[in-house]
Chains A and B, each alone.
Chain A
Amino acid sequence: MPVSLLWAVDVYGRVYSLSTAGQLWEQCHDAQMEFKRVTAAQQCCWGIACDNNIYLNVHASDLPVRYQEETYENQRWNPIDGFSDRLLPSDRWQWSDVTGLQHQPLDNFRIPSDSWEWEGDWYADENFEGEPTEKGGWTYAIDFPATYTKDKKWNSCVRRRRWLRYRRYKAMDTWAKIPPQQTTLPDPFSDISCGGWEINEEPRGRLSLWAVSLQGKVWFREGIYHHNPEGSFWEDIPLPGEVVQISCGPGDLVWAVLWEGQLMVREGISRDCPKGTTWAVVDSPNPDVGATHVAVGNNVVWALTKDNKVWFRRGVNSHNPCGSGWISMVGEMIMINVGLNDQVLGIGSQDRAVYFRQGVTSSELSGKTWRAITVPRDGDRSHSSASAGSLAGCYFCGEVRAQSVVSDVESDTEKGSTDGASCLVASSSPERNPSPGEEEIKAPCAGVAISPSQSGGPLDPQWSNVDLEEAQGHPVQTGAVLDSADTCSLSSVATYTLAMEDPYGADEHPLWAWVSGGGCSVDSHSQLNWFNCSMNSVQSMNLSVTPAQTAAWRRQIFEQLSERTKREIDNFRHYEQAIEQSVWVKKGTMQWWRDWKPHKWIDVHFALEQFSGSEGNKDGILFIYYNFYEEKKYLHAFINEVTILVPVLNDSKHSFAIYTPERTKQRWPIRLAAATELEMQDWLALLSDSCCDSRVIQGPPSKQAIWSVTCKGDIFVSEPSPSLEAMPYPSPCDQMFWRQVGGHLRVVECNSVGIVWGIGYDHTAWVYTGGYGGGIFQGLSSSTDNIYTQVDAKSVYIYENQRWNPVSGYTNRGLPTDRYMWSDASGLHECTKTNMKPPSPQWTWVSDWAIDYSVSGGTDREGWQYAADFPASYHGYKTLKDFVRRRRWARKCKLTTTGPWQEIPPISLSDVTILPCAAQSSVDVVPLWAISNKGDVLCRLGVTTLTPAGSSWLHVGTDQPFKSISIGAASQVWAIAKDGSAFYRGSVSPQSPAGDCWYHIPSPAKQKLKQVSVGRTSVYTVDENGNLWYRQGVTPSYPQGSSWEHISNNVRKVSVGPLDQVWIIADKVQGSQSLSCGTVCHRLGVQPMEPKGQSWDYGIGGGWDHITVRGNSMEPPRIHLPSLTAPAPQSPLPVRNKEVNGDAVGC
């Protein structure tokens, strides 16, 4: 789990945050003023301060908030001046936006608020559609508006160029006032709630922010997204009543509480309309007691009534935001909040502690019990000392004073309350604080009209909500006002005086006023240390590197055990062993995908016989006993010949595949299925152990290891033999032995000093911890330390297909020849919302089906894509020729496993690369570059062998998003932009780890590149049509090279290692029995003078998706054939290479 924050405000208005990994409430020292309420998202926190202004605290990230301003300079040619800024009267502005309609001179651009700063000055963009332009960035056309080209032609009468300037949001990790509205709002805000980030992913970082004003009006903040964190303006949302409090969930739920105690539900919230359209009213859970507070999540609504009872709303979802009924829950709360994953937080009415609802899962949204968060706060000492006097009342004092001139009555009330309280003030201080809050409630009641619903209450609603939590908390604590039917009569003076006898007479534990879990990523798997600070010693042993692991007692045991071995065994190894080793057999029944046609699963007996091998290592044979036309036969494989065991989980079979070199050549593994998942895992773990034993492989992978990932996300690692890259006879790569490592990744990248990073399907970045095992490998085949929970998520897609007919338009009635109306992408298989299962039993659904708008080619507003017929190319708008349409539905699923991986929050990545060659020492910084999943180029700082996770990201500016990156052994950084062209980063060196500028390198003709890998000197790329390209002419003085040379087709990915060895994932590799896609292949014949190699050797596959050989810097033993021992080969190898060769000669 990434570390995230829970935010809370105490009754003194101080803001605190609690980390999910922490055990201390940390005060937000930046806050100069007191806050009333906060509402958090993962990237920021909003708050209402006691000056009634709204403040925003954007969490610092290594990825800056950077906004690209652009404007166009337009020129027309005339015979006298040539191109000049003298345009025709009918022309566009000389400085305009891209359409030419808006006048945009450079000095019209202003930074929107004090929280922004300019990053540099304006400059002309030299890049045009992935191609460098002539000097100046001008593009030419016949006239405005027209198609622009980068070359000037004889008929080019106009030209334009784009100017760019970046501004940066600088107010990170600090409370910045959001800029005031042009027309100031009529009254100050009293409640605020943000959410809605799951409604629409575009634009990135979009948020809905709802606010309630003191007069009970509701406002919606427009235009909040990543590049505009403050939003643009407030929009008034019409209301049928007066609202006291509002809550907005991560999705499309928005509920509000009305003064009269009913609840309102916002309907019509959708992707295109995050504000929603109408309100529906829901009655209070208890007809006699009005609702006072509501909190919504993704699929839940919790509410409080005035008697502090807690209620859970049944049956709430996107289609029915109102839900179906109330369920009374245990506990008495004065405030409640729903955080991420529908986790619930509350503030107890009795003790004002923050409570966490334990046991909330997607299947049990109401959870199990309330548990108080008992961690201490930093500065607790100052709390007790300060609270005694002056500070105690400051929470609302500024405001109260401002309003207190209203009437005489007010001063009376004030006196009353103070009098009532005074007797206890001496002994206990915090009670002073409610008093001003309460007087403020009282204050206006004399002057302003009474709202009709308040039968006896002489109070004006618009004031009391300022201090809602106070006002409603106290009556119930004392029970004094409960019985009054009046909804918001709030506290009386008497209740306050009574309340003072309450637990917080003694100033021992913090009193909380508000909590927000909107940024707090906790789920049912999370291990939180919030509840009992002393209970963690055992768990921490397993969970993280703690002092427990380096503790003296542990060291002592390790040392003494090794001394004992020396003392008692080492000198006596020639003694006979008391117990002789023997054969151990494990048997079972399984199903086998039989070798002969028709292929099908048949029942077989399965046995593994293990015995001591010739050199003392263990070995074994596995037997598959089957019946062939009534005849008993068996198939066997030697454990020491097995090269890999691959789990193949799907929803019907718990199966796995066993490969030997022979089976790899055939592309036809032994496939076996166990009866249950558990049985399969037992067998896999046992067989895997047995294989590792027979090859004497144990513990973590070496630094030279080759890592690969299957299309199911399973991770495999192979120890390269020194002869793997030998010339001219490398060891065949179908003989490589692969063993599985726990975890689930899409990409893994490593280097030769043992730094390994991975990227999950959900783009989370992970760093390898040095452990082994995890996943199905438990017990002995797994390290105890360094194994962590890993969560991954992905979407499953199905398509809804429709055909047009003249009568009813588009319907789900297709032609008899048509595809299924609900299908997979190919249309060949029927996939409906109900029959679709998660990809394997490991995955569970975490969302409902939703229309996916992010399909390539675009969609219309309902997500449809149109075409003339199935199958065809689809477009996102309807034309007259279109007779069919389809739309994609997505459903998210999640997998939880374990493995030697630790998350590197918070930035999601799409690619990563690590400098492949060896670092000199463990403190040497290793260059690591990455692409965020939004296309930003990032450079990781502080990566060393001791701290492989590094410390922070350095953002490297680009003018367009990128998708692939690779750094070579000499710090050559190559990258591929989203438009398919390549870039070379100049001047990257240890002194300047981020380099200075990008050099644009055109892609091979008519091809869009998609991936790059750079070895010692070689640069290889793969394009979107599966072609593998080698960069010709790369020299130290001209590192960009000169041209692309085609090497191969049917290539999915390439990995070039520190020896310039080339490995790929290839599609369509023909075996003797079957064809495989996604096969690991090794380029043969690669030599310093022949870096392109000659042919391919085929290894494990299919179903492989990624490989990295960048850890293997082991120079092969050089075989001196007589003909090749001629005088020194004229190789341009660096010196380092020779040294290694020197060592290797002895081999």
Chain B
Amino acid sequence: MADDKDVLRDVWFGRIPTCFILNQDEVTEREAEPYYLLLPRVSYLTLVTDKVKKHFHKVVRTDDVEEMWLEYEGTPLKWHYPIGVLFDLHASNTVLPWSITVHFKNFPDRDLLHCPSNSVIEAHFMSSIKEADALKHKSQVVNDMQKKDHKQLWMGLQNDKFDQFWAMNRKLMEYPTEEGGFRYIPFRIYQTMSDRPFIQKLFRPVSPEGNMHTLGDLLKEMCPAALPNDGEQKRYQVVIHGIEPLLETPLQWLSEHLSHPDNFLHICVTPVPSD
């Protein structure tokens, strides 16, 4: 039987085949070839698109170049969401490879954060980890870590070093057995049909009666619309890392195994495609 450890590997090594196309409006000196890349689902767009930037810089007139930003079917892609979340949220039913349009002009300041350097991504990533640990362990684990341990987490993500990352992340996933789980589950629920960026509230992995909370329990409380009513056709799909776990999956297990490296469980609720 497959081991739970394999899930961690599968999650980490999840890749989305992507085709980057230069926006039509960009002024080019010659024809821009599309650029194909396997993007890690758990990473961030601006962290892994240096090659894309270099590729298109070659053809774009240098005096027109501003900060690069990416867009899919008219939606600017937020770099501070994990790549997998962006894909599941906006493009889960698209034909692969995922076709992303590259812009060098007209940065949509209203929709996107600027990302002048990797240190901004690092700060964002580390603050997520700290926030998650505040929920899980009252920040005790992350505060006990040394600066180099934090660096190890970040370097692990930046360099795609699974072992390096998990050697440290393991500690963030521990909890006292007698408690049955974390204090609160760090999660974020994204919905395409909502204006709110995401739902994030306090939710415990174990009910006061001692029962393990499931994914269904969480959705019932946070986002009841996502659950099908009795006898009704399923309207929404609940996607984590491109898969749809069963609603009876224990939330604690999901948090331990299907969280992103930022230690949050990112859940996408999208309408079922009508075909």
B160 interface contact, C-beta 8 A? yes
B39 CB contacts on chain A under 8 angstroms? 578
Instruction: Give, as a whole number of angstroms, the nearest-CB distance from B14 to chain A.
Output: 7
Instruction: Give, as a whole number of angstroms, the nearest-CB distance from B275 to chain A.
Output: 17
A-contacting residues, B174-228, CB 8 Å? 177, 180-181, 206, 209-212
Q: Which residue in B40, B167, B211, B258 is a CB contact (below 8 Å) of A579?
A: B40
A582 CB contacts on chain B under 8 angstroms? 159
4 nearest CB pairs, A to B: A572-B17, A560-B243, A578-B48, A553-B249
A778 interface contact, C-beta 8 A? yes
Task: Evaluate contact between A579 and B160: CB separation under 8 angstroms.
Answer: yes
A198 interface contact, C-beta 8 A? no
Question: In the complex, A245 Cα to B162 Cα: how many Å?
Answer: 64
Tell me the interface secondary structure of chain A in the complex: helix
Q: Which residue in A561, A572, A778, A783 is a CB contact (below 8 Å) of B170?
A: A778
Question: In the complex, A527 Cα to B170 Cα: how many Å?
Answer: 23
B250 CB contacts on chain A under 8 angstroms? 537-538, 553
Question: In the complex, A552 Cα to B37 Cα: how many Å?
Answer: 34
B180 CB contacts on chain A under 8 angstroms? 535, 537-539
A24 CB contacts on chain B under 8 angstroms? none
Question: In the complex, A978 Cα to B3 Cα: how many Å?
Answer: 45
B51 interface contact, C-beta 8 A? yes
Question: In the complex, A178 Cα to B36 Cα: how many Å?
Answer: 85
B99 interface contact, C-beta 8 A? no
B263 interface contact, C-beta 8 A? no
Question: In the complex, A783 Cα to B162 Cα: how many Å?
Answer: 16
A154 interface contact, C-beta 8 A? no
Question: In the complex, A718 Cα to B177 Cα: how many Å?
Answer: 34
Question: In the complex, A475 Cα to B3 Cα: how many Å?
Answer: 58
Instruction: Give, as a whole number of angstroms, the nearest-CB distance from B32 to chain A.
Output: 17
Question: In the complex, A552 Cα to B5 Cα: how many Å?
Answer: 18
B-contacting residues, A550-580, CB 8 Å? 550-554, 556-558, 560-565, 567-569, 571-572, 575-579
A: number of interface residues (CB 8 Å):
47
Q: Which residue in A558, A577, A686, A784 is a CB contact (below 8 Å) of B38?
A: A577
Task: Evaluate contact between B212 and A538: CB separation under 8 angstroms.
Answer: yes
Question: In the complex, A312 Cα to B15 Cα: how many Å?
Answer: 63
Q: Which residue in B4, B10, B37, B96 is a CB contact (below 8 Å) of A578?
A: B37
Task: Evaluate contact between A564 and B38: CB separation under 8 angstroms.
Answer: no
Closest chain B residue, CB of each to CB of A700: B3
Taken residue by residue from 530 to 544, chain A's Cβ proximity to chain B (1 for < 8 Å, 0 otherwise) reads as: 001011011101100
Task: Evaluate contact between A572 and B181: CB separation under 8 angstroms.
Answer: no
A882 interface contact, C-beta 8 A? no
Task: Evaluate contact between B243 and A568: CB separation under 8 angstroms.
Answer: no
A-contacting residues, B1-50, CB 8 Å? 1-8, 10-11, 14-17, 36-40, 43, 48-49
Task: Evaluate contact between B3 and A579: CB separation under 8 angstroms.
Answer: no
Task: Evaluate contact between B209 and A534: CB separation under 8 angstroms.
Answer: yes
B163 interface contact, C-beta 8 A? yes
Task: Evaluate contact between A539 and B160: CB separation under 8 angstroms.
Answer: no
A541 CB contacts on chain B under 8 angstroms? 253
B241 interface contact, C-beta 8 A? yes
Q: Which of B4, B177, B180, B249 is packed against the most chain A CB atoms within 10 Å?
A: B4
B242 CB contacts on chain A under 8 angstroms? 564, 568
B16 CB contacts on chain A under 8 angstroms? 568
Task: Evaluate contact between A567 and B243: CB separation under 8 angstroms.
Answer: no
A-contacting residues, B220-275, CB 8 Å? 241-246, 248-250, 252-253, 257-258
Task: Evaluate contact between A575 and B5: CB separation under 8 angstroms.
Answer: no
Q: List 27 A-B contacts (CB under 8 A).
A: A534-B210, A535-B206, A537-B212, A538-B180, A538-B253, A542-B177, A554-B249, A556-B246, A560-B243, A564-B243, A568-B17, A569-B15, A569-B38, A571-B96, A575-B37, A575-B38, A576-B51, A577-B15, A578-B49, A579-B43, A579-B159, A581-B159, A582-B159, A699-B3, A780-B8, A780-B170, A783-B3
Task: Evaluate contact between A576 and B38: CB separation under 8 angstroms.
Answer: yes
Task: Evaluate contact between B48 and A579: CB separation under 8 angstroms.
Answer: yes
Task: Evaluate contact between A553 and B5: CB separation under 8 angstroms.
Answer: no
B-contacting residues, A392-423, CB 8 Å? none
Question: In the complex, A581 Cα to B4 Cα: how many Å?
Answer: 25
Closest chain A residue, CB of each to CB of B180: A538
A1038 interface contact, C-beta 8 A? no
A596 interface contact, C-beta 8 A? no
Chain A residues at the B interface, C-beta cutoff of 8 Å? 527, 532, 534-535, 537-539, 541-542, 549-554, 556-558, 560-565, 567-569, 571-572, 575-579, 581-582, 584, 686, 689, 699, 778-780, 782-785
B249 CB contacts on chain A under 8 angstroms? 553-554, 556-557
Question: In the complex, A550 Cα to B1 Cα: how many Å?
Answer: 9
A549 CB contacts on chain B under 8 angstroms? 1
Task: Evaluate contact between B163 and A567: CB separation under 8 angstroms.
Answer: no
A558 CB contacts on chain B under 8 angstroms? 2, 6-7
Instruction: Give, as a whole number of angstroms, the nearest-CB distance from B201 to chain A.
Output: 22
Question: In the complex, A783 Cα to B257 Cα: how many Å?
Answer: 14
Closest chain A residue, CB of each to CB of B205: A538
A699 CB contacts on chain B under 8 angstroms? 3
B137 interface contact, C-beta 8 A? no
A-contacting residues, B103-137, CB 8 Å? none
B90 interface contact, C-beta 8 A? no
Task: Evaluate contact between B166 and A779: CB separation under 8 angstroms.
Answer: yes
B37 CB contacts on chain A under 8 angstroms? 575-578
Question: In the complex, A562 Cα to B242 Cα: how many Å?
Answer: 11
Q: Which residue in A537, A572, A581, A783 is a CB contact (below 8 Å) of B5?
A: A783
Task: Evaluate contact between B38 and A538: CB separation under 8 angstroms.
Answer: no
Task: Evaluate contact between B17 and A575: CB separation under 8 angstroms.
Answer: yes
Closest chain A residue, CB of each to CB of B245: A557
Question: In the complex, A558 Cα to B245 Cα: how many Å?
Answer: 10
A577 CB contacts on chain B under 8 angstroms? 15, 37-38, 160
Task: Evaluate contact between B248 and A784: CB separation under 8 angstroms.
Answer: no
A550 CB contacts on chain B under 8 angstroms? 1
Q: Which of A552, A579, A780 is packed against the most chain B CB atoms within 10 Å?
A: A579
Q: Which of B15, B162, B209, B244 is packed against the most chain A CB atoms within 10 Å?
A: B15
Taken residue by residue from 91 to 108, chain B's Cβ proximity to chain A (1 for < 8 Å, 0 otherwise) reads as: 000001100000000000
Task: Evaluate contact between A572 and B7: CB separation under 8 angstroms.
Answer: no
B2 CB contacts on chain A under 8 angstroms? 558
Closest chain A residue, CB of each to CB of B254: A557
